[in-house]
Chains A and B, each alone.
Chain A
Amino acid sequence: MNLLSIVLFLPLIGFFVVLFTPRQSKAPFYTALLATVATFLLSLGLLAPATANGAQFSSVINALWTDVPGLQIHLHLGVDGISVWLVLLTTLLLPIGVWISDSMIRERHKTFFALLLLFEFGLLGVFTALDLFVFYVFWEIALVPMYIMVGSWGRGMRGPVAVKFFVYTMLGSVLMLGSILYLHSITGTFDYVDIMSGLNSGSFTLRPAQQMVLFLGFFAAFAVKVPIFPLHTWLPNTYTQAPAPATFLLAAVMSKMGVYGLLRFSLTLTAAGAHSAARWVSVLAIIGIIYGALLALVQTNIKRLIAYSSISHLGFIVLGIFSFRQQGADGAVYQMLAHGISTGALFVLAGYLEQRRGSLEISDFGGVANVAPGLSTAFMIALLASVGLPALCNFVGEFLLLQGAALAKFSWAAWAAIGVILSAAYMLWMYQRTFLGKLNTQIGEFADLRARDWAPLLPLIALMVWLGIYTQSFLPAISSATSHLLEQTNMNNQYQVLANPVRPEVADVR
């Protein structure tokens, strides 16, 4: 039996098992933990074949799902040097999500754990699907549990917030479905690999106008999910009102769906469209970087601040993807991992703060370092990773992204780098008001981190250092996948190639 299918379906099996566990017990927690940890350990097995040749899809499953004449859908899945890391990121962060939910989710925890497993199933499908229809199905599967988690366990105005999140994302994905069906009407297949080889062999072509329409359909779904300015207004409220474990997963893994889609599908299937859109997408990305950072500067709520900082960080990734440079693409994938880990850690820590204080308004804190030095230190480390301190994970990603942008157009890198200055400002100001100074007298009991609180943080901190220093464990596989991807981008982009015949760095890539 194929390892990928076990990794993919284990969370789904876990979902059903959790549904049958007794409500008033620890059983749902242990079942979910077991399922997610087992999934993680098994997913490590995907690594060797996927990194051996990052450009090829490995551990491939290809089973016929529906056989309606003219509408064949295949359960076609596989991982390459890009997606294997996103699969691992997902399988690593899910046990952490389960672990922190145990103490942070007070009611109906059985349902919550079940939803976490369903969410993992959906995400793994998104990152491995090679059939566009299947991709769309998993895309929606991942959305539903998150919607329920935000809507039922959130704080304050959770109802309207969750609806907005759902409708906003749905609208985007419906347009993507339109593009997928349109592409099917032209090519007669949903299969990504078939379409790409057809395009490369020239057995069918997509005219630039067709590509633009297709591009926009996909872009609608991806841009909302990233989110790209100005489609971001669902995010701050959703991140802020969602329960801590849900925010953690939203920011750490779910935000990678959009950028993954842009890199995997928009750049290859609709290369000409992506090329001609690159200019305004890059401008929107840069606006997002600066705009997100400026708004983070003035937030009064810790979660909301990190939410805006995420908009800023993801803008870098989009900018790198649309630089069409090896460095930009490598940086994009690297930053997906780095951002997942550093922002993930920040949201775990925000969860601890909320758990202890019952609030995340910065003004409710002050001087926390006096009573919780461990928590303050951990927060400082995650903060430093997040602001891109060299030798920690985000720096490598940010450097490559900026380098890609600089090679495409130097002024873009210059504008984007302003976000790096601002990130230090908003993070340090928040840290000062929350952790430094004399202890806020309103704070009563405030426990420092216990061993069980450290447990999910230590692997994240270790990865921050590992990703920051020894990139050779990750980058070679990513590079071979992205260089293959950029080659495809060029083949499918004959119209553009004629317009700009000399691109030395693409020759270099080969």
Chain B
Amino acid sequence: MNLWLIFLFPLAGFLINGIWGRRLARPLINTVAIGSVALSFLYVLFVLSRLWPIDTAVGEHCFTWIQSGFLNVGFDLVVDRLTAVMLLIVTGVGLIIHIYSTGYMAHEEGYWRFFSYLNLFMFFMLVLVLGSNLLVAFVGWEGVGLCSYLLIAFYFKETWASNAGNKAFIVNRIGDFGFMLGILLTVATFHTLDFGKLAAQMTNLPAQATTGVITAIALLLFVGATGKSAQIPLYVWLPDAMAGPTPVSALIHAATMVTAGVYMTARVAFFYNHAPSAMTVVAVIGLATAVVAATIGITQTDIKRVYAYSTVSQLGYMFLGAGVGAYSASIFHVMTHAFFKALLFLGAGSVIHGLSGEQDLRHMGGLRKYMPITCVTLLVASLAISGVPGFSGFFSKDAILSAAYAHSPWMFWVGAITAGITAFYVFRAFFLTFMGDYRGHHHPHESPASMTIPLIVLAILSAGGGFINIPGFLSQAYPLAEHENSTAMIISASFGILGIVIAALMYWIRPSLAESARRAAGPLYTLVSNKYYVDEMYQTAVVKPLVGTSRILLWRGVDEGIIDTGIVNGLARIVRGWGVLFRRLQSGSIRNYATWVLAGSLIVIFVIGLFGGGR
């Protein structure tokens, strides 16, 4: 099937724009950038139609990548139903966002650079999704992290941008540390990294694969997922990642890359199924992240940051789903989230574009008059994420929450209340942007067709995407549990609608309520709006001590002080001292030598006598 062609197109696009882009005209850059992704999308459609209905996984061996001793890692690709869903999301949404970017980035310098990075991202993301063993997937995994870094720091002249880029890369590295150890332990335990072969070994576990070891592998891989998919405790990079251009936030930091952790968890579900305690950890971390991020989302005033925290929170739902064993529901939510969250970000981008770069909700308002298409499409996206019945988010969130209810009801209740909070803060942003009167001083205008058409396409998908039955499609790999629960469905939808109503009251009908609510919350509000001071905590507890210790204690103290000056140079001084002594001995005076000879002889005779020599 030549599956490698799928990611070869974006790679070619990256190389062409990356090497010659500086000298190319913009239409040509657009053609290369969009064309490569479009070809990739079409080729995906072709491959899937040929393989349909994909009842078995289709693998492809490109070449032997690393072979050493018993370890043989091929550059192998695989397409099964899970891959199929991810391929369509990545290339489909990717294509829409590439088209949108030509409008959004029209006035930016470094246009070619932006598109070459975006193509490179598509390449790595597709490698990640297609890889048929953990190590090939890791190539994509780290590669998308690199592109994320490059694109967050796209405005590299600004310190805030490069700081955010560094933070993203380094925090992800901490996650990858866990992922890497997971890989090493997998090799040590199963002698292979191939997903198919690993799954096959699960029915007949080797002796060394105890539950403890499998739990350790699952948890180590989950550490990787917490980095890439922005979960507690490594979520801190994602809100800062909004420093990148808005299409990047939509593609990488909402629709595709950040869901890689969820994808990977579903991919290695066979580990988790053998490690119940690891699953509990996944579910609890996911749920906690959903709650914490949602509460922070209430207080943010930057429209992109609101959506960023909502992404963290929605990713938490996906892990909740995986943790309670509803992997297909998680992937379902990955898809619907890709639609409505990409739309939220692109809509926000359209607003920011129309306001010449303004991102603060306090300086918006009343924009429905100026940008009607953006307003309607964002309304659809907001309804979808709030889980209003009929819209896509409703179906996928319901699938997760029903499974959570079957697993343990308290998780359902926490999740349902969080759904209400989600609806509240998303509509808070919506009302502040589009309702009331305009509070800024720019000249708002609707965006060009290259931006609004992608918005409309995504709005259709956000509204209707829930009718695509992903759990049914994936039921071979992830059997459906019977937990359709209409009570749970009604409760969670009601919480969503309640949230919308409260938001409407506070931010549209009676804006004075918002102010008094904030005053009533007092210090709690300060705590939450400062993101619980987690960044400050990490800075004080980790970064500063590490750098301080390294500089003062290790470098100046141990390295220069003790080892070099103390021991090494000290030894040299001692040797020189002896040298001086011996130089004195070689005085050249016969009388001196005679004295030493005499003294030496006496000592020798004395020693021999002492030890009874000569017997």
Contact = CB atoms under 8 A, between A and B. Distances in A.
Among A167, A297, A479, A509, find the residue whose CB has the most chain B CB atoms closer than 10 A.
Answer: A297
Contacts of B174: 421
Interface in B546-605: 546-547, 549-551, 554-555, 559, 563-564, 567-568, 572
A406 B185 contact: yes
A296 to B, nearest CB: 9
Interface in A388-411: 389-391, 396, 399-400, 402-403, 406-407, 410
Category for how many chain B residues contact A: 35 or more
Interface in B172-224: 173-174, 176-177, 180-181, 184-185, 187-188
B572 A167 contact: yes
B170 A391 contact: no
A330 interface: yes
A475 interface: yes
Nearest to A370: B157
Given A298-B547, A298-B550, A389-B146, A406 B64 contact: no
Instruction: Give the secondary structure class of B's interface.
Output: helix
B68 A326 contact: yes
B153 interface: yes
Contacts of A403: 68, 71, 184, 187-188
Contacts of A325: 69
Contact of B170 (A400, A418, A425): A425
Contact of A230 (B157, B181, B555, B563): B563
Interface string B151-173: 00100111100110110011001
Interface stretch (A24-32, A81-89, A428-436): A428-436
B373 interface: no
A410 B184 contact: yes
B184 A402 contact: yes
A403 B67 CA distance: 12
Contact of A233 (B153, B163, B549, B568): B568
Contacts of A399: 66, 135, 180
Contacts of B149: 428
Interface stretch (A57-65, A131-139, A335-343, A464-472): A464-472
A196 interface: no
Interface stretch (B78-86, B137-145, B331-339): B137-145
Contacts of A475: 66-68
A10 interface: no
A298 B559 CA distance: 12
Contact of B69 (A391, A410, A505): A505
Contacts of A233: 559, 563-564, 568
A424 B67 contact: no
Contacts of A414: 181
B70 interface: yes
A241 interface: no
23 contacts: A168-B568, A291-B554, A294-B546, A295-B554, A298-B547, A331-B68, A369-B156, A370-B157, A390-B135, A399-B66, A400-B66, A402-B184, A403-B188, A410-B185, A417-B177, A421-B176, A424-B169, A428-B149, A470-B63, A476-B67, A479-B68, A483-B69, A508-B69
Given A297-B546, A330-B69, A421-B177, 14 more contacts: A230-B567, A326-B68, A370-B157, A400-B66, A403-B184, A406-B188, A410-B185, A413-B181, A417-B181, A418-B177, A420-B173, A436-B156, A469-B75, A471-B66
Ranked nearest first, the 9 interchain pairs of A and B with the lowest CB-CB distance are A326-B69, A406-B184, A233-B564, A298-B551, A390-B139, A294-B550, A330-B68, A436-B162, A424-B173
